[in-house]
Amino acid sequence: MPIETDSFPSDPLRRLEAIMSALRGPEGCPWDREQDHKSLRTNLLEETYEVLDVLDMDGEIDTARLVEELGDLLLQIIFHAQLGAERSDFDLDSIASAINEKLISRHPHVFNTTAVSGTGEVLRNWERLKLKEGKESALDGVPGSLPALLRAAHLLSKAERAGFRWRSRDQALSKVREEWEEFEEAIARAGEGAEEATREVEKEFGDVLLAMVSTVLEFGIDPEAALRGAARRFEERFRRMERSLPDDGVKLEDLDTGALLDLWNDSQEEGSSQESPEDFDS
């Protein structure tokens, strides 16, 4: 017998709760009944990135698609709330109550009399309030499971708000140059066959990336978004290269360096006719 939905609440959020409860019930979906908090981890991550894909699209945001993807992400929250409710650990109201209290306590400049001069002071106050709440370090709260570039940006931003910052952009850029020189030296030693050379190259490469992240943060740039944009531009340009190959079975691997460079440059010119000049790196 199909589950009747006529008796479900009309309020959209409560209706979603009821649907999720039914899916987890005895007459519900076998897949949904098998899930637990840990098994849903990948789903939560994938749905988050699908939201980001919509936000990263060129031009105006497709609001219909954004609503759809945000709904899929909301479902993950509802799913975890249902799992918590079944164990009497927590429910959706518990989640909402916790974030309500946090938002009010972390915004004394809105819900109290604290005065702030701007966004920078808001963020510094936010970190100080977290420490008062029992956090051990200004760096607490940065998930270890974040993508490495995004995690580095969060750690550096938190350190900056705690007072660990460059005094000028020139200082930040000087650190990039210093780390790059060490990276080049490590590569040279790897070429000489030195022991542990590959591990050293990896270490110095990480130091270069961290220094570059620190530098672009000085400009308010999100390094994760910057790299996603660069990867997207590379993908588009590479696909144009593939489409420009002759139809006689020639593959990229068949071309010499000169021919590959010609194709690469041609793909840039083709892209420039469709995009603004600054959208593609040479």
pLDDT tens for the 282 residues of the chain, in order: 689 899 999 999 999 999 999 999 999 999 999 999 999 998 998 999 899 889 988 889 999 999 999 999 999 999 999 999 999 999 999 999 999 999 999 899 999 888 888 888 888 887 778 777 777 788 888 888 888 998 999 999 888 888 888 888 899 999 999 999 999 999 988 876 666 788 899 999 999 999 999 999 988 899 988 998 899 889 988 888 888 887 777 788 888 888 888 888 888 766 555 544 344 343
**What's the rounded Cα separation, in Å, for the pair 26 and 3?**
11
pTM of the predicted model over 0.75: no
What's the pLDDT at 271? 59
Of the candidates 275, 278, 282, which has an alpha carbon nearest to the alpha carbon of residue 59?
A: 275
Q: Which two tokens stand for residue 75?
A: 């479902």
CA distances from 126 to 119, 121, 138, 162, 265 (A): 10, 8, 10, 10, 48
Q: Provide the residue ranges of all domains of the chain, joining segments of one domain with +.
A: 12-100, 166-221, 225-279
What's the pLDDT at 272? 55
Contact 150, 192 (CB under 8 A): no
What's the pLDDT at 9? 94
Sole residue written with tokens 């019930």: 25
**What's the rounded Cα separation, in Å, for the pair 272 and 266?**
10
Q: Which two tokens stand for residue 198?
A: 């590959």
Sole residue written with tokens 């460059």: 166
Q: Which CATH number fits domain 12-100: 3.40.640.10, 1.10.1740.10, 1.10.287.1040, 1.10.287.1080?
A: 1.10.287.1080
What's the pLDDT at 193? 67
Q: Residue 211 is which amino acid?
A: A
